[in-house]
Amino acid sequence: MEIPGFGTYRGASFFELLRVDHPQLAIDWSQAGNRQPVSVPHGTTVLAFKYAEGVIVAGDRLATEGHRVASRDIQKVYATDDHSMIAIAGAAGPAIEMARVMRIELEHYEKIEGQPLELDGKANKLAQMIRANLPAAMQGLVVVPLFAGYDLRRKQGRIWKFDVTGGRYEEADFEATGSGGLYARESLKKSHRSSATRQEALEMAVQALTDAADEDRATGGIDTLRGIFPTVICCSEPGIEQAEEDELRSVYEALVERRRARGGSSS
Amino acid sequence: MSMPFYVSPEQVMADKAEFARKGIGRGKSSITLEYAGGIAVMAENPSSLSKIGEIYDRIAFAGVGKFSEFDQLRKIGVRFADIRGYQYSRDDVRARALANAYSQAIGDAFTRELKPLEVEVIVAEVGDPELVGHEKSEIYRVLFDGSISDHSRFCVIGGSEEELTGYLQTNYQVDLPLGDALRLGRNALQRAADGQATVPPENLEVCLLEKARVGRKFRRLNVEELREHLGA
């Protein structure tokens, strides 16, 4: 029987619930009309790679608007549940919103159905959300996140990248995206080992972000003056764990020291 | 066109209430009680279909009666809470608002529909000592006709409500450790006329709202954990 006063949607997706029963809360970009690209803050470099225990996702903290700094300490890497993470690059507003809806989506499904989605299912759901964002992407509000997590069934970390049409591509070892993504990927190409320990993995992550910040002006390096460190989240079988600032500081200082000792251009 | 027979509104309501009570009485009871570390929700339930569910960070749901109906209410509650939390903030999702919404919906169905909902539900919210304005735990009960009441310490729903409430009134103590609270709950459920005289841990469904947990405080106990806590 129908219970009155609670909308019509009967499925397990929060994303669809918003669209069906609460359209005032879900923006329909195709109605936005204005075809001029809008100027909004953009997030820059995020990366993900596998290590011995699972997968690491990291991102710098800078958001830029054109040539200006929009924010020095935004967060681009989010835990979406105990075993998955999303890293956002692109238009910061819609991207952060997508990370938030994704997190609620996974929790909502788990509560309605009584069990969580498989990691594949989570990645697929995110692809659908990106596809639904296509009208906004056409207006310049591109959101192309990385998604990574620990697959409890396969007992391994997994990484996906996406394109604006919702195309979903699983990566074998590592991936980076955003304006400094190319440099981060080049850095990882040389340093990455899937058998790395957690400590080695933190070193690889900090090094890749430092290299990206060195080459790409829109990527924020580690700012010891202000005490701004990248967000680095490790995901393994026991769950999610965010690297402490002190840990990142010592990894970064060791890196700088190594480069200084080598006599090259330290960064 | 034939004229329908006149039936007085009192009679209609009395018939509906009797129908609903009968339906609810056929199922087993459920107990919600506060213990030192939070709130425990227990039900005698040998099947794998849950009577207890997570609604939000600090809110749990329990239903008795017709499964399809209270499970629909549970899902509605999850949608209600997630939309609220999305629209405002996670701390703005409160048990009282949800219990009121349930009361409206169940009351509406009772007066308008030919067949009332054969359900009773509980919405429990565990207090968070760190969160100003949210320190106290709250337990709300909504009956088949939409009548709503709030309870502290413990609350029973289901056919044997009076018996079990009586038992808990004599035996309940504040700030019980978890093991004692669960044993008390099981002893109470064993007194229910509609249940079994001895309820093994496999036939118990137990969920906790644990104050000490960060974020989502809801946790379902599995049989091994339950056996350990019950010491049996």
ipTM confidence: 0.93
pLDDT, one tens digit per residue, over A145-181 is: 999 999 999 999 999 999 989 999 999 999 999 989 9
* Other residues' Cβ atoms within 10 Å of the Cβ of residue A138: 15
Residue A30 pLDDT: 65
Three state DSSP letters for B211-224: CCCCCCCEEECCHH
* Other residues' Cβ atoms within 10 Å of the Cβ of residue A71: 15
pLDDT, one tens digit per residue, over A56-95 is: 999 999 998 888 888 999 999 999 999 999 999 888 888 9
**Inter-chain contact B82–A25, Cβ cutoff 8 Å?**
no
A95 interfaces chain B, CB cutoff of 8 Å: no
Residues of B in contact with A10 (CB under 8 A): 75
Residue A265 pLDDT: 58
Give the pairing type, strands B30-35 and B38-44: antiparallel
The two three-digit tokens of residue A46, written as one number: 């995020």
* Other residues' Cβ atoms within 10 Å of the Cβ of residue B20: 23
Instruction: Give B89 to chain A, closest Cα distance, Å.
Output: 12
Q: How far apart are CA A142 and CA A261, in angstroms?
A: 41
Residue A39 pLDDT: 73
In 3-state terms, what secondary structure has residue B152? Answer: coil
Residue of A nearest to B216 (CA): A107
Residue B149 pLDDT: 97
**Inter-chain contact A17–B82, Cβ cutoff 8 Å?**
yes
Q: Is the pLDDT of residue A127 over 90?
A: yes
Residue A267 pLDDT: 47
Q: How far apart are CA B91 and CA A50, in angstroms?
A: 35
Instruction: Give B53 to chain A, closest Cα distance, Å.
Output: 7
Q: Is the pLDDT of residue A266 over 70?
A: no
Q: Which of A2, A3, A27 has the highest number of chain B CBs within 10 A, making it the mutation to test binding with B?
A: A3
User: Where do the H-state alpha helices sit in chain A?
Assistant: 14-21, 92-113, 119-132, 134-138, 181-191, 198-215, 245-262
A260 interfaces chain B, CB cutoff of 8 Å: no
Q: Is the pLDDT of residue A211 over 90?
A: yes
**Inter-chain contact A104–B82, Cβ cutoff 8 Å?**
yes
Average pLDDT score over residue span A110-120: 96
Distances, alpha carbon B228 to alpha carbons A156, B180, B209, B224, in Å? 32, 12, 18, 6
The two three-digit tokens of residue B47, written as one number: 């099947």
More confident residue, B194 or A119: A119
Distances, alpha carbon A133 to alpha carbons A29, A124, A255, B203, in Å? 8, 14, 39, 47
Residues of chain B with pLDDT under 70: 1, 193-195, 232
E-strand ranges in chain B read 30-35, 38-44, 52-56, 59-65, 119-125, 138-142, 148-151, 154-157, 204-210, 218-220
B69 interfaces chain A, CB cutoff of 8 Å: yes
**Inter-chain contact A17–B72, Cβ cutoff 8 Å?**
no
Q: How far apart are CA A45 and CA A77, in angstroms?
A: 10
Q: Give pTM, 2 decimals.
A: 0.93
The DSSP element (H or E) to which A256 belongs, if any, is: helix A245-262
Residue A38 pLDDT: 67
Percent of chain A with pLDDT over 70: 93
**Do B59 and B127 meet the contact criterion of CB atoms below 8 Å apart?**
no
Q: How far apart are CA B177 and CA B196, in angstroms?
A: 25
Residue A117 pLDDT: 96
CB-nearest to A5 from B53, B105, B115 is B105
Residue B159 pLDDT: 85
Residue A5 pLDDT: 67
Residue A37 pLDDT: 64
Residues of A in contact with B83 (CB under 8 A): 17-18, 21-22, 25
Q: What is the mean pLDDT of chain A?
A: 91
Number of Cα atoms under 13 Å in the Cβ half of residue A243: 28
The residue with tokens 């800078």 is A62
Residue B1 pLDDT: 62
